[in-house]
Amino acid sequence: MSLLELNDVKVHFPIKKGLFVDRTVGYVYAVDGISLKVEAGQTYGLVGESGCGKTTLGRAVLRLVDITSGEVVLDGTDLASLPDKDMRTMRRRLQMVFQDPLGSLNPRQNIESILSEGMAAHGIGANQEERREKIRAILAKVGLPSNALSRYPHEFSGGQRQRIGIARALVLEPDVIICDEPVSALDVSIQAQVVNLLDELQEELGLTYVVIAHDLAVVRHISDVIGVMYLGSLVEEAPSDDLYAAPKHPYTKALMSAVPIPDPTVEEARERILLTGDLPSPANPPSGCRFHTRCPWAQPKCKEERPQLREVGEGHRVACHFVEDIESGLLQIGTERAAVVPAARTEQDAVEEAVAKSAGTKAALEAEDAEAMADGDADVTPADARSEAEAESETESGPAASDADEAPASDADETSASDADEAPASGADETPESAAPAETAPAETDPAETTPAETDSTESAKDSSARGA
């Protein structure tokens, strides 16, 4: 059994309005149905952009925010339903390291007092002398001098303060440590020191971490399993190396390709998917798939039905209706949602991209009501864009070429995916019928697919011309 298990955890914050009587006028769906398992001795990385709910989820595990529904099971005990008093004793086993080390250390307490407070509260160590011994041992482990005991937080540098934060978690001998952006406030060279420290401590003490961070490179470095969050839910979960080698969810693909790599040669040679628009508000999340408003592959179905996480490979779960179709190249990227920056950038590419982007931003903003679910027919864009005929043809040829690049890699994934329950046999990849997932209607095959798309695009063309007028 997993050490920590989350079952359909939801955290909704009410939005209050009213002068005398608080009326609840809506909810912010910060965390909206997350299930995951953290194995003992492993590191689970949670990544996502700001506002996706990753911090709220971390705090919900510790019950620092109220859980609306769902279960948080630590070692067989459901924390969500635990009385406050029992929860307090339980917190010894769940500790947190915060992002801002200065903000989370009391400036008027010295290090000994900061570290021994929790120990005294949980009855660790018979007397202060015993606790001090233990604190000394822990301080040595995290690489702080023992004379740190009588000093105050402001006397330390940022990296050292983060070490104090880690020591404070460690003195209680927790089972799970939740690290919320443990290194993002630190300089690059110090960041590496703290990351290495976390690694070493895990090896030595067999700790289990949940690492919450927005820096994908850091998360990759320390995690065994990574979950990608978008707008309150998990969109993809996979072992770290698999996720980075072959991201399957459109959002993960875009996220990975957005991370700059410190090597100009690699940087020039790789293809990037540029998402347009911003994260929608979690108070008013889009219907169906949360990502459909920005997804370059979005289909009409995505707007209506919310995809569940499903297994597509060993330990690889994705919440997308069309993973297989995207992998096999059946679904083409739609240019009005994102610009694909191909490997070798040319002058013309830049022009095409700028045009596609400016059109795309508009489309994305109104995607909520716009019917622009087309499969990337460039016909959608010109109505409100200043795109010329040649730019349009560029737009069409760009993504097509890029898909060809992706093809060989995806073939291999398809084979592994075929083990999963819903996926068809890998040999049948060429035929669109079998490539479609089991739950999709047969009408989703190629010819049928284009028809609704075309009607959609004409509608949206009408839409946009109406806007123009």
Q: Which is nearer to other proteins, 121 or 258 (CB)?
A: 258
Region of 13-21, 100-108, 248-256, 420-428 interacting with other proteins (CB under 8 A): 248-256
Enumerate residues 139-158 that contact other proteins by CB under 8 A.
157
CB of 440 to other proteins, least distance (A): 28
For position 336 contacting other proteins by CB under 8 A, the verdict is no
Query: Binding residues for other proteins, how many (CB under 8 A)?
Result: 55
For position 369 contacting other proteins by CB under 8 A, the verdict is no
Q: Which is nearer to other proteins, 198 or 330 (CB)?
A: 198
For position 261 contacting other proteins by CB under 8 A, the verdict is yes
Binding marks (x or -) toward other proteins, 187..226, rule CB under 8 A?
A: xxxxxxx-xx--x--------------x-xxx-xx-----
Q: Which is nearer to other proteins, 107 or 262 (CB)?
A: 262
For position 465 contacting other proteins by CB under 8 A, the verdict is no
For position 370 contacting other proteins by CB under 8 A, the verdict is no
Q: Which is nearer to other proteins, 263 or 304 (CB)?
A: 263
For position 102 contacting other proteins by CB under 8 A, the verdict is no
Enumerate residues 262-291 that contact other proteins by CB under 8 A.
262-267, 270, 272, 274-276, 278-279
For position 50 contacting other proteins by CB under 8 A, the verdict is yes
Q: Which is nearer to other proteins, 58 or 247 (CB)?
A: 247
- 3 state SS for the chain: CCCEEEEEEEEEEEEEECCCCCEEEEEEEEEEEEEEEECCCCEEEEECCCCCCHHHHHHHHCCCCCCCEEEEEECCEECCCCCHHHHHHHHHHEEEECCCCCCCCCCCCCHHHHHHHHHHHCCCCCCHHHHHHHHHHHHHHCCCCHHHHHCCHHHCCHHHHHHHHHHHHHCCCCCEEEEECCCCCCCHHHHHHHHHHHHHHHHHHCCEEEEEECCHHHHHHHCCEEEEEECCEEEEEEEHHHHHHCCCCHHHHHHHHHCCCCCHHHHHHCCEEEECCCCCCCCCCCCCCCCCCCCCCCCHHHHHCCCCCEEEECCEEECCCCHHHHHHCCCCCCCCCEEEECCCCCHHHHHHHHHHHHHHHHHHHCCCCCCCCCCCCHHHCCCCCCCCHHHHHHHHHHHHHHHHHHHHHHHHHHHHHCCCCCCCCHHHHHCHHHHCCCCCCHHHCHHHHHHHHHHHHHHHHHHHHHHHC
CB of 34 to other proteins, least distance (A): 20
Among residues 358, 416, 431, 445, the one that binds other proteins under rule CB under 8 A:
358
Chain contacts with other proteins (rule: CB under 8 A): 49-50, 157, 159, 187-193, 195-196, 199, 214, 216-218, 220-221, 240-241, 244, 254-267, 270, 272, 274-276, 278-279, 339, 341, 347, 350, 353-354, 357-358, 361-362, 365
